[in-house]
């Protein structure tokens, strides 16, 4: 018989607060058109994007995360010292080590929490949320800060007509803490590595370092393949998340998909047959695709503008490079 004592975690976990940060510089499509042969109409029709935010040199991955985290912690009604864990999802922190989570934890005054980075692309927020839920329920942490942050402008090829207009920068954060009833549902997550070439970095860092290529690495994708996968396969995953939570689309108040592309969002809404009463996040129009930051940024905006309210039931789903995905049903803070 084991001599290990059982964990004394919370029975359930919940999102307690949310915060977001968008860089001050707003970049309209006209700026993108300076380097690609296209039009504002084409960009809007293909993606739904009109503007995006690009970070200044001072708006680093850490700096944006700290701004978003401060808002999330205040919204949760706790202090930084109470944070026991910091999870950062990003693909655009250019230091291989140490994890930027450790710097963020120190600069927000969190003391000595567990702190680590994860790389799960546009599904990164869902992965981080699931890990945070496990930490709270298992008992290794009471309050966990989950951050999705990207400076994708650093990894954008402005001459690539297929992707130059897609990406933006920003940070979104939530605080996950204990709950007395289920407020974060089971996560449906997974990967399809056989499709990893559909969204990828153009070349590895060492190819650039060694002079094999002269062009700095960027993110590229096979647009049509990604579109088909996101619309048809991710709608199935979203439905599985609803089923796992024990609800139907009629029970939903809010749908917050990864803000990849307006056409993908609209197609998923149609495939899922969501009622017109469901509020759908369409933050991509003015924020662009911010990968791991897109879901918490969209969540924060819906709550700030009153389009969603505390206690609403929301389906969140992220999907992207890997290919990886994560979907769950949550109660909004």
**Strand 324-331 relative to strand 313-320: parallel, antiparallel, unpaired?**
antiparallel
Percent helix, strand, coil in the chain, to 5, is 40, 25, 35
For residue 137, CA distances in Å to 158, 180, 181, 262 come to 44, 11, 12, 35
What is the token pair recorded at 90? 């990003």
Tokens of 246: 């024990």
d(CA 124, CA 191): 12
Catalytic site residue from 29, 53, 93, 122: 122
Count Cα neighbours of 139 within 13 Å in the Cβ-side half-sphere: 6
Catalytic residue at 289?
Answer: yes
Closest residue by Cα to residue 21 from 167, 170, 173 = 170
Structure tokens at 236: 């199935």
Q: Which helix (H) or strand (E) holds 299?
A: helix 294-305
Write down the catalytic residue from 53, 93, 261, 289.
289
Residues with a catalytic annotation lie at 122, 258, 289
């Amino acid at each position: 018989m084991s001599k290990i004592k059982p964990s004394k975690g919370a029975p359930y976990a919940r999102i307690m607060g949310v915060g977001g940060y968008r860089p001050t510089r707003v970049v309209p499509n006209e700026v993108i058109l300076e380097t690609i042969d296209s039009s504002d109409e084409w960009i809007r029709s293909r993606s739904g994007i009109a503007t995006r935010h690009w970070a200044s040199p001072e708006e680093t991955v850490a700096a944006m995360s700290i701004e978003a985290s401060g808002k999330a912690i205040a919204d949760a009604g706790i202090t930084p010292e109470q944070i026991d864990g910091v999870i950062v999802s990003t693909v655009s922190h250019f230091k291989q080590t140490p994890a930027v989570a450790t710097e963020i934890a120190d600069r927000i005054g969190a003391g000595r929490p567990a702190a680590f980075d994860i790389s799960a692309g546009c599904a990164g927020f869902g992965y981080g949320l699931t890990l945070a839920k496990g930490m709270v329920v298992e008992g290794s942490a009471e309050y966990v800060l989950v951050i999705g942050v990207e400076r994708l402008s650093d990894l954008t090829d402005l001459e690539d007509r297929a992707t130059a207009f897609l990406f933006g920068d920003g940070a979104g954060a939530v605080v996950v803490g204990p709950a007395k009833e289920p407020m974060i549902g089971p996560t449906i997550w997974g990967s399809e590595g056989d499709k990893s070439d559909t969204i990828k970095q153009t070349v590895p860092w060492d190819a650039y370092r060694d002079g094999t290529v002269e062009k700095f690495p960027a993110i590229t994708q096979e647009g049509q393949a990604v579109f088909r996968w996101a619309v048809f396969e991710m709608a199935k995953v979203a439905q599985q998340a609803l089923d796992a939570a024990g609800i139907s689309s009629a029970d939903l108040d809010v749908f917050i998909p990864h803000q990849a592309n307006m056409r993908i969002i609209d197609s998923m809404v149609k495939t899922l047959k969501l009622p017109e009463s469901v509020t759908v996040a369409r933050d991509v129009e003015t924020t662009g695709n911010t990968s791991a930051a897109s879901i918490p940024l969209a969540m924060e905006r819906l709550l700030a503008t009153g389009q969603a309210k505390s206690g609403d039931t929301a389906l969140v789903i992220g999907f992207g490079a890997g290919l990886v995905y994560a979907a769950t049903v949550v109660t909004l803070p």
